[in-house]
Amino acid sequence: MERRKFLKGAALAAGSAGVLPFLKYIPAAEASSRNAVLVVCVGSGPNSMDIHRVGSNRESYQISVNLYDRLVTHGRRELEDGTFAYDSTVLEPELAESWEFAEDGMSVDFKLRKDATFWDGKPVTAHDVKWSFDRAVGIGGFPTVQMRAGSLEKPEQFIVVDDHTFRIEFLRKSKLTMPDLAVPIPIIINSEVAKQHATDSDPWAAEYLHRTPAGGGAFKLGGWQSGEQVVYERFDDWKSGPLPEVRRVVIREVPSASTRRALVERGDVDVSLDLPPRDAADMAAAGRVRVASVPVENTVHGLGLNMNFEPFRDKRVRQAIAYAIPYQQIFEAAAYEQGLPLYGADSFDPSSIDWPQPFPYNTDYDKSRELLAEAGYADGFQVPLSMSLGLAQWMEPTCLLIQEGLNRIGIRTSIDKIPGANWRSRSLVEKELDLHLTHFGGWLNYPEYYFFWQYVHGHLFNSMNYKNEEIEALVDETLHMEVDHPDYEPKLKRMIEIAMDEVPMIPIWQPSLDVAMQQNIEGYEHWFHRQLDCRTLTKA
């Protein structure tokens, strides 16, 4: 396509909004051979090149995946539509070519690839792995808590046996330790480069790595204009997997969902992410582009009720709101029936340990009014209902329908539309929103891992400020319990039963991740972190 025609088409799709050229960083020689360049559009981009940085957003996970290695990765399974998804039951080598557990099961030795180098040519050694792990457990915030979920807590656990042998000594045996090494957090950083930019006040070189990654992953950073685009360039000496076929990736931020749809339908981009469910369903039905739609494991879109707001401290009020949600209307209008409904179960007694699973609530305004009256709120009350503008495609219709349902029982809401850049801080860090939509997904596919983040007081995704000592005890007990332990299933059922009864978070549906791509794109792989892994993508 000629540059003039591309820009004209993008401008038409965006209406009056200006659109910068996607091909800005593609040399003419490469632009003429488009199978070497992958062009992607997303709703929003990373706010940091360092996933360990406080406040790094979800989009920063793509930096970890594409620019850095981990010791291990997950296997893959093929789906019915010919695309792939990660396999949570299988671990495969990445930077570590093999590993071996001690006879007592209390440590594991990783043998690193001897030919692996960082982008600057420096060999990757166990010293780099130790420094990187020390950083992850010591920098604080989300990275440190995530490592702790896998019982990776202390620098003393991480031992350099020799230049190419790295040992982890376990504090306790835990089924989560090995899969926790495959999440985006335990990246391997070029420690020599990082140390050159560390200071007494910044021992982990956070300010430097925020803008200048220092890795050895399949791609290196070609350019980053915050709020506009990220460019990846292939690292031709990458040894931790099959060398990517595409040589360059241009990831362009396009806030308008309608523009993202138009660009992929016109063939102006190869892949389009962050599409509303309705657009994904329409495009899948039309068949002009390929749409991969996969329910995201261990993930819930729901409504959070902050315990700092006086009426929500009464369980009857929380249950009243759960009975006032117009679930089916939301599932049709906001989810466009993409994903799985999480309402309408027959009993408060869970029959399985599946998570997520439907809660025993349906729309019942009479029951809702009865519970409000019992709690002393027969006349209702007023409360703001908060949503993120960055997720408006599903949050706005959901909020409007919740507002309508709550109004029928006397609860008056005003919709507080928070800029996407401020959402994580206000909802998760400060936890200041009274009534708000939630959208948490657990990286490790275990119910107790989800509860660890969403239901334990003080943890990042417990935006409800909910505290229940029994749930916290059950989480502690089951996190490191093997799934075949006789107490495992009954303890999980009790945990889910409490969540159903207490409803500090009201599940509505389990979302699907919808990605649209041209018919000639192959190798797409769905991941729990919901970001694009460019390493496996090819263009026919």
pLDDT at 293 over 60: yes
Question: In degrees rounded to 5, what are phi and psi of residue 85?
Answer: -140, 150
Angle, helix 469-479 to helix 488-502, in steps of 10 degrees? 150
With vertex at residue 316, the alpha carbon angle to CA 315 and CA 322, rounded to the nearest 5 degrees, is 90
- Residue at 236: amino acid letter: D
Output the pLDDT for position 6: 35
Mean pLDDT of all residues in 510-520: 95
Residue range 294-338, pLDDT digits in tens? 999 999 999 999 999 999 999 999 999 999 999 999 999 999 998
**Cα(168)–Cα(157) distance, integer angstroms:** 5
Closest CA to 537 of 234, 301, 331, 327: 234
CA 410 vs CA 5, 329, 402, 406, 533: distances in Å? 54, 20, 12, 7, 47
With vertex at residue 283, the alpha carbon angle to CA 278 and CA 289, rounded to the nearest 5 degrees, is 150
Closest CA to 160 of 184, 128, 136: 128
Output the pLDDT for position 57: 86
Output the pLDDT for position 81: 86
Q: Which residue has the tokens 């117009």?
A: 326
CA 49 vs CA 2, 23, 189, 242, 335: distances in Å? 32, 22, 12, 24, 31
Determine what percent of the chain is predicted with pLDDT higher than 70. Answer: 94
Question: Which DSSP string corresponds to 92-116?
Answer: EESSEEEEEE-TTSSEEEEEEPTT-
**Cα(532)–Cα(275) distance, integer angstroms:** 14
Note the CATH number of domain 1-55+219-295+515-540.
3.40.190.10
Residue 482 or residue 6, greater confidence: 482
Whether the Cβ atoms of residue 45 and residue 28 lie closer than 8 Å to each other: no
Whether the Cβ atoms of residue 22 and residue 269 lie closer than 8 Å to each other: yes
* Residue 20: pLDDT band with limits 50, 70, 90: very low
Residue range 22-72, pLDDT digits in tens? 444 444 444 445 679 999 999 889 999 999 998 888 899 999 999 999 999
CATH 3.90.76.10 in the chain: give the residue spans: 88-216
* Residue 19: pLDDT band with limits 50, 70, 90: very low
Residue range 425-449, pLDDT digits in tens? 899 999 999 999 999 999 999 999 9
Mean pLDDT of all residues in 256-268: 94
* Residue 138: pLDDT band with limits 50, 70, 90: very high
**Cα(57)–Cα(50) distance, integer angstroms:** 10
Tokens standing for 392?
A: 């408006």
Residue range 492-509, pLDDT digits in tens? 999 999 999 999 999 999
For the sheet with 340-341, list strands across it.
340-341, 505-510, 299-305, 435-441, 382-388, 412-418
Mean pLDDT of all residues in 363-372: 98
**Cα(126)–Cα(96) distance, integer angstroms:** 10
Residue range 388-397, pLDDT digits in tens? 988 888 999 9
Output the pLDDT for position 393: 85
**Cα(331)–Cα(401) distance, integer angstroms:** 10
Mean pLDDT of all residues in 221-245: 96
Mean pLDDT of all residues in 282-303: 94
Output the pLDDT for position 55: 80
pLDDT at 90 over 90: yes
Output the pLDDT for position 33: 59
Output the pLDDT for position 11: 38
**Burial status of residue 83 (CB atoms within 10 A of its CB: 0-12, 13-18, 19 or more):** buried
The fourth-level CATH superfamily of domain 88-216 is: Dipeptide-binding Protein; Domain 1 (3.90.76.10)
**Cα(254)–Cα(172) distance, integer angstroms:** 46
CATH 3.40.190.10 in the chain: give the residue spans: 1-55+219-295+515-540
* Residue 10: pLDDT band with limits 50, 70, 90: very low
Residue 263: strand, helix, or coil: helix
**Cα(167)–Cα(180) distance, integer angstroms:** 15
Mean pLDDT of all residues in 101-124: 97
Class of domain 299-510 (CATH, top level) = alpha beta
Output the pLDDT for position 1: 37
Output the pLDDT for position 8: 38
Q: What is the mean pLDDT of the chain?
A: 92
Lowest model confidence (mean pLDDT) among 87-91, 124-128, 156-160: 87-91
* Residue 480: pLDDT band with limits 50, 70, 90: confident
